[in-house]
Amino acid sequence: MALEEVLRNADVVSVHLRLSDQSRNLLNGTRLQLMKKSAYLVNTARRAVVDETALIKMLKEKAIAGAALDVFGEEPLPPDSALLDLDNIVLTPHVGWPTDRGYEEFAEHAVENILGYMDGKVFRAINPEAMEKKKVAH
């Protein structure tokens, strides 16, 4: 189905996209208005995929049933955010997306990375060249 058709028919729209030029503002005000009044939006991807201002307006007007977000235009969410005034939204601090197994893998990888680093090995490093500059403590 085309995105517009999905938005018109889905009871729940759950966003799981990497932010790119194609996904930025993908769910803009026009597309969000296609959603059913009984539908829910879940965004655990990136805030810039969904037009936050348009979503807030729709939630205030009860144009959709509700939303669940763990990504925001400003993080951490400021105390005066309009999102905090809504009664049809669930908010989490960008930790709502992983599964229990995902957390286990995070922990396992952290241990592997630390032990590897202590042995002079680099795993999953963004900047492996930093190992060349590593100072050895005596």
Q: Return the active site residues.
A: 46, 75, 94
Sign of CA dihedral 76, 78, 79, 81: negative
- Whole-angstrom Cα distance, residue 27 to residue 71? 14
- Whole-angstrom Cα distance, residue 19 to residue 74? 16
Query: Three-state SS for 57?
Result: helix
- Whole-angstrom Cα distance, residue 103 to residue 93? 15
- Whole-angstrom Cα distance, residue 57 to residue 26? 17
Q: Give yes or no for a contact between 34 and 46, defined as CB atoms under 8 angstroms apart.
A: no
**Cis amide leading into 93 (omega within 30):** no
